[in-house]
Amino acid sequence: MFDMPDFDGHEAVHWFHDKATGYRGLIAIHDSTLGPACGGTRMWAYANADAALTDALRLSKGMSYKNAMAELPLGGGKAVIMGDAKTQKTPALMRAHGRAVASLDGRYVTAMDVGMTEADMETIASVTKHVAGYAQAGRTGGDPSPMTAWGVFCGIRAAVKFVNGSDDLKGLRIAVQGVGNVGYETARHLKAAGARLVVADVNPANLHRAEALGAEIASPDAIHAADADVYAPCALGAVLNDRTIGQIRAKIVAGGANNQLARPAVHGRAVMEQGILYAPDYVINGGGIIRVCGQIYDWSDEAIRAKTEGIGVTLTEVFGAAQAERRPTHEVADRIARTRIESAKQSKAA
């Protein structure tokens, strides 16, 4: 593991197995300097254990940076469960995962990710208190998707203002790739602000819902090349790659999808050289983890919303520094995140 390219000085990686339920999972803790490691649980039919480990290493590091950029009292962690969520998930398996989380005694707090539902979170919570990001009676927070979408909307406005000098979205054409939970809510906010929508999704039900917003429908394979002011990826990752970057007509890429740069070191610079302003994904989509954090620390709904709206301010800081230094925005965001973590480490050591 220590020689894998995605190992980044992670504090710990825990492997778990429960023979009775068939549970096979792992929890990666990247950095807990800022607080307990927090990040969602993902259930996926990985090809092998190496693929599961790679995903956990990458995602936990991403959570460290996301939490640092949102200035949250949380470190970065991630859990993955090896298995098909549609055919292999059972309540007993979820409880086995909950026991794995509980065994870390608060060093890691889990939430929802791909393949998980609010019902799964409730099952996990039956055996551990170290879970958040789902509706709990008498507590703020809940499903993080709506706040993720609000943060993406605020980030798009910040990017538009940086490019156009005004955050007015009226009449702007915005291409939204993926109109599931986050994408649809983002599109709804954009429509209310007067934007014209072009959307794509592989799910016909999602498209039907988006059509009610007056959205034009595009092919999922061509949405990145739509004639638009803003391209907002809100579905799959790695959408900024060797094939797509040269075809993008928008001057801004700002959306809720994770890991949008297929190869950050290569494609972040390629986007910049194309004259496109890129909102680093783990900054603009931070609203969800802000809501999770608010539930953990019992913040008010107003405080959660205000913190999420600060995403626009953070992005403006990133954009300005990247422009001044002529560096890709993701490199600037990475540096800021690392600096915040290192500064906290030095303060603790003093």
**Cβ proximity of 42 and 55 under 8 Å:** yes
- For the question of whether the overall pTM of this predicted structure is more than 0.85, the answer is yes
For 159-194, what is each residue's pLDDT tens digit?
999 999 999 999 999 999 999 999 999 999 999 999
For residue 245, give the nearest of 225, 226, 229 by alpha carbon: 225
Round to whole Å and give the CA distance between 273 and 302: 39
- Active-site positions? 78
The pair of three-digit structure tokens given for residue 327, joined into one six-digit string:
């560096």
Q: Indicate the fold that domain 145-286+311-338 takes in CATH.
A: Rossmann fold (3.40.50)
- Selected from 3.30.310.50, 3.40.50.11540, 3.30.1490.20, 3.40.50.10860, the CATH number assigned to the domain covering 12-62+77-125 reads 3.40.50.10860
Can you give the residue ranges of every domain in the chain? 12-62+77-125, 145-286+311-338
Same fold, 12-62+77-125 and 145-286+311-338: yes
Rounded alpha-carbon distances, angstroms, from residue 191 to 172, 175, 212, 309: 10, 12, 11, 18
For 196-220, what is each residue's pLDDT tens digit?
999 999 999 999 999 999 999 999 9
The pair of three-digit structure tokens given for residue 307, joined into one six-digit string:
């913190």
For 272-326, what is each residue's pLDDT tens digit?
999 999 999 999 999 999 999 999 999 999 999 999 999 999 999 999 999 999 9
